[in-house]
Chains A and B, each alone.
Chain A
Amino acid sequence: AQSVTQLDSHVSVSEGTPVLLRCNYSSSYSPSLFWYVQHPNKGLQLLLKYTSAATLVKGINGFEAEFKKSETSFHLTKPSAHMSDAAEYFCVVSDQGGGFKTIFGAGTRLFVKA
């Protein structure tokens, strides 16, 4: 069975400092992994995805994530936080164990202080 654990429900950083949002996953198959962002009162938007190509994935707005199979992790990072990054971030796993199914993590709320 597949599952996703986002290790922090809230992360607070100062503007200009690095961002690290942690995600561990479990899958019986070769999964696809995604990070989505949800700004207040806005829809979910894809940041980046891993689909068994390069393990270091670059996304939009300076975000990137590294797929580490040995650690079953897919942490999201950004070198320098911007105020506009304040939002909720979801780590997502999809695999085809038992059919196409997508599982969302519980989400990490990112706060950015001026």
Chain B
Amino acid sequence: KAGVTQTPRYLIKTRGQQVTLSCSPISGHRSVSWYQQTPGQGLQFLFEYFSETQRNKGNFPGRFSGRQFSNSRSEMNVSTLELGDSALYLCASSFPHGQITDTQYFGPGTRLTVL
């Protein structure tokens, strides 16, 4: 089975722009979570989707949003980019029920640099 894939792998944007990142989960996985990883803050939970519904959200401003499609693929969007949004954005999918006991499988991440 193919693993979690994220596109693009690297991205450079300027302040004020917006960006959309994509995540394709492992086939059959219905839960997709997004995380931001920075040297200063570590790994922080952004949000989790299950069957196209956002079930939980971390403590991030409204500029960060996401969605999930019927095929479980997910996108996250960051509007009005700030320098502090520079980070590695990780996506993870889990099976079978998106429950807390499930193992999360992580993608390689998208490295976003904001200039």
> Which A positions have Cβ atoms within 8 angstroms of B?
31-32, 34, 36, 42-46, 49, 51-52, 90, 94-96, 98-107
Instruction: For the complex, give the distance between the alpha carbons of A58 and B42 in Å.
Output: 26
State the Cβ distance, A8 to closest chain B Cβ, in Å: 14
11 new A-B contacts at CB < 8 Å, known A43-B90, A96-B100: A32-B100, A36-B106, A44-B92, A45-B106, A51-B101, A90-B43, A95-B100, A100-B48, A100-B55, A100-B56, A106-B42
6 closest Cβ pairs, A-B complex: A99-B56, A104-B43, A94-B100, A44-B106, A51-B101, A32-B100
The answer on a CB contact under 8 Å between B45 and A101 is: yes
The answer on a CB contact under 8 Å between A46 and B104 is: yes
Task: Decide yes or no whether B14 CB sits under 8 A from chain A.
Answer: no
State the Cβ distance, B98 to closest chain A Cβ, in Å: 6
Main secondary structure of the interface of B (DSSP, over half): strand
State the Cβ distance, B33 to closest chain A Cβ, in Å: 6
Instruction: For the complex, give the distance between the alpha carbons of A51 and B42 in Å.
Output: 24
Residues of chain B within 8 A of A52, CB atoms compared: 101
Given A94-B100, A95-B100, A99-B56, A104 and B45 contact (CB-CB distance below 8 Å) = yes
The answer on a CB contact under 8 Å between B98 and A100 is: yes
State the Cβ distance, A78 to closest chain B Cβ, in Å: 20
Residues of chain A within 8 A of B108, CB atoms compared: 42-43
18 pairs across A/B with beta carbons < 8 Å?
A: A32-B100, A42-B108, A43-B109, A44-B90, A44-B92, A45-B106, A46-B105, A49-B101, A51-B100, A52-B101, A99-B48, A100-B48, A100-B99, A101-B45, A102-B33, A102-B100, A102-B104, A106-B42
Residues of chain B within 8 A of A106, CB atoms compared: 42
Residues of chain A within 8 A of B101, CB atoms compared: 32, 49, 51-52, 94
